[in-house]
Structure 1
Amino acid sequence: MLLKLRNSNLLSIVLGARGTFLICFILLSCYLLYSVLAYTFLIPTGNFLGDIPSVLRGEFWRIITSTVYHYEWEHLLKNMLAIIVLGPFIEWKTGSFALVTSFFLSSWIGVLLFSFGFGGFIQSTFGIGTYIYSFYGASMSVYGLFPMAIIALLIKKPAFSLMTKFVLLGSFLYYFIVGFWPNPDASDTEVVVQIAHSCGVLAGLLCVLIILILRNRKKIFSYMS
């Protein structure tokens, strides 16, 4: 622990990001697995995708398969880049287990919130065509990292170096602005995608709350008693 406190520099944080690299490995492995299943065994890719009607019907397995499925290589690389940029800082403060668990929970909880919380609104506002639109990829998990990045800045120990703080804050602002910058010319599908990303942020907030409760459980229990 003392060594960790002394070496809270950018290089140490990146080299110690085992959980971050595990997430990237899982996503890359799933991409290769799905490619084999689709192009070698000719399994329809629709079996891996998620959509609001399917989730509402109880096909909850789609929550897991869709959130680790990337149809385009570029989509996977874009998500992995965000994970590599934000993940190590979060992992340094919260730990590998908390990062990996929160990453995947953000997608699963986000899909449930998106389907059950906003499904009716999407159908009535944008029509049946957008309502049945398929979703896939780990973007909800990536946006779930935003609240995690904030908690990484707020947790005091182990302290970040000044350069590390600048890198984390700059990366956070870049991805947040790119993802949520208002666009009056956005299509219905793009608006729905932003709603889905917002669900990822809300799910990330829930994970942050759970992490804070677990980190301070002794204080909470002593206060309640």
Structure 2
Amino acid sequence: MNSSVHRYFFWKMVEHYAITKQYRVLSLQSTQAWFEDDEAKPRRVIRLVLSEVDWANRLKRDITHAKQQFDAIYKQLGVWEMRGDNIYVMSYPPVDSWEGAMEPFQVRKKGTVTNIALHTDASTYNQVANDRLSSDGIPPFIALSDEVQMEQEIESIRTKVQQVSAGRQKQDKNTLFFGKPRMIYALLIAIVGMFLLLELNGGSTNIQVLIDYGAKYNPLMIEGEWWRLFTSMFLHIGMLHLFFNGMALYFLGTAVEQLFGSIRFLVIYFLAGIFGSIVSFAFNDSVSAGASGALFGCFGALLYFGLKQPNLFYRTLGRNIFFLLLFNLVLGFIVPGIDNGAHIGGLIGGFLTAVLVRMPKEKKKTKGIWALLSLIGLAIASVGFLFFGQQQGSSSGDLAVIEANRLFENNQIEEARPIIEGGLEENAEQPELLFLQAYLDIQDGHLVEAQDRLETATSVRPQFFEAWHNLALIYAETKAYDQALEAINKAIEQAEDQNIPDLETYYDVRVQIEEQQ
């Protein structure tokens, strides 16, 4: 066959797949083209080769090379199953036995590639195309009599295909980079700024400091401090927490802001963060802080992008997003102390908020209303779970200490009783709770019980100078002056070691005990 006719047939097939079928052009060269039918299930990939193969060995080498290329594309697409066609357009078949080389081959577990040879003349081309590629609807090949005209049409086809491919790439680029990452930097600056503020005022790992600066703390939120749903997103507990959340925010937040634009990104980020805090409030009574809920909201927004444009999603972000999401969810269930309620709540909130705000240039649909109603309904259900299905006390000893001290400072002594009792049920040797319960026992006139609690507290924490002081007063009250003097001396010794100022009261107690001996 004339080489011009040979090339003409090749480019007519390129035109058919790229223009008529509108397959995605993965690669376009003068003698080779790759196409993807991203609507087909399983996903279909076509390799079209303009080739002159004299010997079967050369054909086998090319098929081996093609297998490697199909394998790489299969991996890149991230699909479960793939079907491929490796099509050779040849003016003549190899001179020796070559049919055995054309057997289908397997790519990974779920990829099957068929080898097809179009050769000899137009009638054979058409017959093979009808037999092997009938579903593609390839029109009959008719060669033009004028070689110049065929070359001109080839150039025309090449130009049109390149324009179509460039247009699709531009469309994908406009989708992926709709917005510029601006707000992400403002959020990072705010988070780092709050971390430094915590460190300068007692430390970011100090529970009381976290509470003072707006961490999620259920008892205060129940009393009306709902603003903690928002402020807790800007606080982080320790340098590692800040580092990992900051890195995740930079990469995930940048992707979401580029996809959705700055305004939509902020709406997704904050609503997801607040919703994550609500779920954490309902299912976790610990003090918590961090941008994790908002970060998982970014995961949710990216999943919505995957739902709307699955082909572009899997080609660009899909595999990495699924791996990171699954890894972090599993980590949340395995590692103690991770607030998985905030993670899952943020993920759901981010997805529903993305449905609500939609992607840029997406047509308005009523599903946005349903997303809003779902957000409201889930938020109400989460809060309702706390008030009607869960005890409202702090179960951990440390939180019970914080809450009891707060109530003591507000002179809400009776309100502190159940908090202290609940904390001691969790940890019967928590020194601060024993100290506070001993104070209540003294108020109730139960000196024996108070003495036992203070003795336990000082044995667990010998540096607890306030407990030694109160224990000395009880010993003096029961006329055990030797024990009282020993206890007040230990109180003064521990207080001086800790550089506690204003110990005149302690010195006065020692003088009084010495006078009573």
- TM-score, normalising length: structure 1: 0.69
Per-residue CA deviation, residues 119-178 of structure 1 (Å, 9 max, x unaligned), is xxx5xxxxxxxx3x110011111111111112233455xx96xxx855522331232122
Structure 2 CA distance for partners of 1:63 and 1:90, relative to 1, 3 Å: same
Q: Is the 8 A contact 2:216 2:281 kept in 1?
A: no
Higher helix fraction (1 or 2): 1
Answering whether residue 200 of structure 2 is matched by residue 36 of structure 1, we say yes
Following TM superposition, by how much is the alpha carbon of 1:15 offset from its aligned partner in structure 2, in angstroms? 9.8
Aligned to 2:266: 100
Following TM superposition, by how much is the alpha carbon of 1:5 offset from its aligned partner in structure 2, in angstroms? 4.0
Answering whether residue 211 of structure 2 is matched by residue 46 of structure 1, we say yes
The one of 291, 298, 312 equivalent to 1:145 is 298
Amino acid at match of 1:34: L
Structure 2 CA distance for partners of 1:204 and 1:173, relative to 1, 3 Å: same
Amino acid at match of 2:219: P
The one of 191, 204, 218 equivalent to 2:350 is 204
- TM-score, normalising length: structure 2: 0.33
Structure 2 CA distance for partners of 1:138 and 1:184, relative to 1, 3 Å: closer
Q: Is the 8 A contact 2:180 2:262 kept in 1?
A: no
Answering whether residue 363 of structure 2 is matched by residue 216 of structure 1, we say yes
Q: Is the 8 A contact 1:103 1:144 kept in 2?
A: yes
Aligned to 2:456: none
> Residues 69-80 of structure 1 correspond to what in structure 2 (within 5 A)?
69-80=235-246
> Residues 11-30 of structure 1 correspond to what in structure 2 (within 5 A)?
13=177, 16-30=180-194
Q: Is the 8 A contact 1:110 1:140 kept in 2?
A: yes
Structure 2 CA distance for partners of 1:209 and 1:140, relative to 1, 3 Å: same
Q: Is the 8 A contact 1:20 1:91 kept in 2?
A: yes
Per-residue CA deviation, residues 21-59 of structure 1 (Å, 9 max, x unaligned), is 2322222222223333446xx993331221233322221
Greater length-normalized contact order (CA 8 Å, ≥ 6 residues apart): 1
User: In structure 2, how many angstroms separate the alpha carbons of the residues matched to 1:166 and 1:78?
Assistant: 26
Aligned to 2:173: 8
Larger radius of gyration: 2
Following TM superposition, by how much is the alpha carbon of 1:68 offset from its aligned partner in structure 2, in angstroms? 0.6
Answering whether residue 260 of structure 2 is matched by residue 113 of structure 1, we say no
Structure 2 CA distance for partners of 1:13 and 1:184, relative to 1, 3 Å: closer
Structure 2 CA distance for partners of 1:216 and 1:113, relative to 1, 3 Å: farther
Structure 2 CA distance for partners of 1:79 and 1:86, relative to 1, 3 Å: same
> Residues 190-201 of structure 1 correspond to what in structure 2 (within 5 A)?
190=338, 193-201=339-347
User: In structure 1, how many angstroms separate the alpha carbons of the residues matched to 2:279 and 2:297?
Assistant: 13
SS at the partner of 2:219?
helix
Amino acid at match of 1:76: L
Higher strand fraction (1 or 2): 2
Structure 2 CA distance for partners of 1:134 and 1:155, relative to 1, 3 Å: same
Structure 2 CA distance for partners of 1:31 and 1:166, relative to 1, 3 Å: farther
Any unmatched runs of 5+ in structure 1? 123-130, 221-225
Q: Is the 8 A contact 1:14 1:88 kept in 2?
A: no
> Residues 125-164 of structure 1 correspond to what in structure 2 (within 5 A)?
131=285, 133-156=286-309
Structure 2 CA distance for partners of 1:139 and 1:184, relative to 1, 3 Å: closer
Following TM superposition, by how much is the alpha carbon of 1:200 offset from its aligned partner in structure 2, in angstroms? 1.1
Structure 2 CA distance for partners of 1:182 and 1:91, relative to 1, 3 Å: closer
Structure 2 CA distance for partners of 1:182 and 1:34, relative to 1, 3 Å: closer
Q: Is the 8 A contact 2:277 2:342 kept in 1?
A: yes
Q: Is the 8 A contact 1:86 1:168 kept in 2?
A: no
Matched length: 192
Structure 2 CA distance for partners of 1:134 and 1:148, relative to 1, 3 Å: same
Following TM superposition, by how much is the alpha carbon of 1:91 offset from its aligned partner in structure 2, in angstroms? 1.8
Aligned to 2:255: 89
Per-residue CA deviation, residues 186-216 of structure 1 (Å, 9 max, x unaligned), is 54x44xx222211111211231122139953
User: In structure 1, how many angstroms separate the alpha carbons of the residues matched to 2:201 and 2:182?
Assistant: 28
Any unmatched runs of 5+ in structure 2? 1-166, 367-517
User: In structure 2, how many angstroms separate the alpha carbons of the residues matched to 1:141 and 1:213?
Assistant: 18
User: In structure 2, how many angstroms separate the alpha carbons of the residues matched to 1:145 and 1:134?
Assistant: 23
User: In structure 2, how many angstroms separate the alpha carbons of the residues matched to 1:184 and 1:107?
Assistant: 20
SS at the partner of 2:358?
helix
Structure 2 CA distance for partners of 1:21 and 1:167, relative to 1, 3 Å: farther
SS at the partner of 1:60?
coil
User: In structure 2, how many angstroms separate the alpha carbons of the residues matched to 1:113 and 1:165?
Assistant: 30
Aligned to 1:168: 317
Structure 2 CA distance for partners of 1:56 and 1:202, relative to 1, 3 Å: farther
Which segment drifts farther, 146-155 or 164-173? 164-173
User: In structure 2, how many angstroms separate the alpha carbons of the residues matched to 1:14 and 1:171?
Assistant: 21
Amino acid at match of 2:299: F
